[in-house]
């Protein structure tokens, strides 16, 4: 649970850290689970296909357990209320001494979630120090607003769109959001943040869990498939993804992951275009999805895979 002071600071600044969550045994369970997943993949997840970075709770019971961890959910509930869905998770991994980075961005940009209440719990499975390329955040100073981005496909970007803010904004006063292994940080969907390459000797491993209150909706016609992790699906705007009760990497769970991931990717692609349209003409009406929601997959989205 968060203190009233932490809640007030989150609503002013748009971030909060660090919060301790995992016991040593739980941390070891997550690390072992990731090692098994990478052995199954035959490659480190950050070197594999983008699809494996997102929503892996669909087929990994240990990750499904992490998104339901009571300490994380208690903190999230203090910020968004008792009915909570998971929009996605992302493995945010930087190998030791790797150039992988994130340019300044806001998570809201390509998610299309209304209202702006999405919060990311970023859980560290190894120490996310400044040297290891932890996130750097800017305070919203009580006045968060959506800035213009471009999906530039930046080389070595940890984000699937390789996106970057292209509006002018005040970059001063950045705070290094260092998080020790087993702890997490929280950042609001309009929090401006970035992260530098990993100059440390260890692999920086984080899992971003994107929580939304269940009254939210998506501005595209894509119906997302999301786990309900607390309370009820009050808005009814999302299909509910069941836990992977069949076991790790079971074919049925993998098929559900493919379905959830396609919907996620379709929405992401729609939102990239919608964002460009919205900023090309600020007086234009809200963009309308051209995707066929019964298909969830169109050719042009294939190049966009990630967060």
Ligand X SMILES: O=C(O)CCC(=O)C(=O)O
Residues that bind ligand X (CB under 6 A): 92, 102, 107, 120, 122, 135, 158, 193, 195, 206, 208
**Least Å distance between CB 206 and ligand X?**
5
Closer Cβ to ligand X, 102 or 190, answer by number: 102
Q: What is the DSSP string of 107-167?
A: GGGGT-EESS--EEEEEESS-B-TTTT-EEEE--TT---PPPEEE---TTBSSTT-EEE-S
Closer Cβ to ligand X, 193 or 256, answer by number: 193
Closer Cβ to ligand X, 205 or 291, answer by number: 205
Closer Cβ to ligand X, 171 or 239, answer by number: 171
**Least Å distance between CB 58 and ligand X?**
19
Closer Cβ to ligand X, 181 or 291, answer by number: 181
**Least Å distance between CB 23 and ligand X?**
23
Closer Cβ to ligand X, 198 or 237, answer by number: 198
Alpha carbon distances (Å) from 62 to 119, 172, 244: 21, 39, 10
**Least Å distance between CB 273 and ligand X?**
21
Closer Cβ to ligand X, 120 or 237, answer by number: 120
**Least Å distance between CB 102 and ligand X?**
4
**Least Å distance between CB 100 and ligand X?**
8
Exposed/middle/buried for residue 257 (C-beta within 10 Å: 0-12, 13-18, 19+): buried
**Least Å distance between CB 294 and ligand X?**
30
Contacts 24+ apart (CB under 8 A), 223-227: 223/263, 223/293, 224/87, 224/260, 224/263, 224/264, 224/267, 225/256, 225/259, 225/260, 225/263, 226/85, 226/86, 226/87, 226/260, 227/57, 227/64, 227/67, 227/85, 227/86
Q: What is the DSSP string of 141-156?
A: TT---PPPEEE---TT
Exposed/middle/buried for residue 263 (C-beta within 10 Å: 0-12, 13-18, 19+): buried
């Amino acid at each position: 649970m968060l203190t009233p002071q932490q809640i007030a600071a989150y609503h002013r600044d748009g971030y909060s850290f660090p919060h301790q969550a995992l016991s040593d045994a739980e941390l070891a369970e997550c690390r072992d689970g990731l090692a098994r997943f990478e052995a199954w993949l035959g490659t480190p997840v950050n070197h594999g296909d983008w699809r494996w970075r997102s929503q892996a709770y669909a087929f990994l019971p240990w990750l499904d357990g992490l998104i339901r961890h009571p300490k994380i959910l208690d903190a999230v509930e203090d910020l968004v209320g008792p009915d909570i869905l998971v929009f996605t998770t992302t493995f945010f991994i930087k190998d030791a001494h790797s150039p992988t980075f994130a340019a300044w961005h806001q998570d809201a940009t390509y998610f299309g979630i209304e209202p702006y209440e999405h919060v990311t719990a970023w859980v560290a499975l190894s120490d996310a120090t400044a040297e290891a390329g932890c996130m750097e955040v800017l305070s919203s100073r009580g006045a968060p607003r959506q800035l213009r981005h471009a999906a530039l496909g930046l080389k070595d970007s940890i984000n699937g769109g390789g996106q970057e803010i292209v509006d002018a904004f005040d970059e001063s006063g950045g705070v290094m959001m260092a998080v020790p292994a087993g702890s997490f940080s929280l950042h609001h969907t309009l929090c401006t943040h970035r992260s530098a390459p990993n100059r440390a000797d260890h692999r920086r491993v984080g899992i971003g869990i994107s929580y939304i209150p269940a009254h939210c909706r998506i501005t595209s016609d894509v119906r997302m498939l999301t786990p309900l992790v607390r309370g009820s699906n009050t808005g009814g705007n999302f299909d509910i993804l069941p836990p992977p009760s069949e076991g790790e990497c079971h074919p049925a769970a993998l098929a559900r992951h493919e379905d959830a991931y396609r919907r996620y990717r379709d929405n992401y692609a729609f939102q990239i275009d919608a964002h460009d349209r919205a900023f090309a003409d600020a007086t234009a009406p809200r963009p309308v999805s051209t995707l066929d929601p019964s298909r969830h997959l169109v050719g042009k989205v294939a190049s966009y895979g990630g967060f």
